[in-house]
Amino acid sequence: MNRTTGFTFRFGVGDPAGLQSGVWRVWADSGKSDVYVAIRTIAGINKISLHATGACNASLTSQAVKNDPTFAERLGGSRHLDQWNRPMYTGPLLSIPLRIRFLESELRTRIGSEEPEKKVVWLPAPPSDHALDVVCNFTSQSFESGKWPWQDEGGTLLASAELQNGEAFWLTALVYRAPAGLRSLIEQQRARARIPPNSRLLIGETGPGNVRVLTDAASSPV
């Protein structure tokens, strides 16, 4: 595990030359213990902050509000789209504020002349009846050497860091059978969304333990 002087991890699901999800970035700044998460297509507009205090929020960036003050006006003067708290523990128990979910059915071919993202770790798409979750985990101390959260359940370790406040941050990937009704939820939200074709649709839910689950879906059906 690396003692963080700041870290950045970029990942996507699928084939960088074919069907793919959005490209996500997870990072922490040097000397800080807050972890941030954003999807590339809206990173300049929206990001998720997982603060060392346990407070978490999905917010418009200050630059986005500066560029278009009507963003904040539509939220009653606030930049926050969602706010929640993660548990703070004093042992090796997991505190999980966020899971990012991917389905094979929501992968699309990249459109446009945009240059490929550098240093992206591409994860294999899950089977058609499964989902892949990338999970943000915190512990107040490290696991025993060679172990990581969700390892016993078949989870893969993507990145880890010891934060400035002594907490350990772990980014893991876990494949499991997709929840019943998830595809119907995506279709409902897709029909209601007013976003451009060939972009990404983020669908938020609250799971057990006040964990926020974001599904990275396509704005248009196949």
**Residues forming beta bridges with residue 208, ordered by sequence position:** none
pLDDT at 24: 94
pLDDT at 113: 45
Q: Return d(Cα 44, Cα 60) in angstroms, integer.
A: 8
**pLDDT tens digits for 61-83?**
555 444 545 555 554 555 557 89
Mean pLDDT within 78-97: 84
Cα–Cα distance list, 29 to 32, 139, 201 (Å): 6, 18, 27
pLDDT at 109 over 50: yes
**pLDDT tens digits for 134-190?**
999 999 876 677 889 999 999 999 999 999 998 999 999 999 999 999 999 999 999
Percentage of the residues of the chain whose pLDDT score is greater than 90: 58
Mean pLDDT within 34-40: 93
pLDDT at 8: 93
* Token duo for residue 94: 């997991």
Q: Return d(Cα 46, Cα 36) in angstroms, integer.
A: 11
Residue 142, classed as helix, strand or coil, is coil
pLDDT at 64: 45
Cα–Cα distance list, 48 to 34, 72, 117 (Å): 10, 16, 20
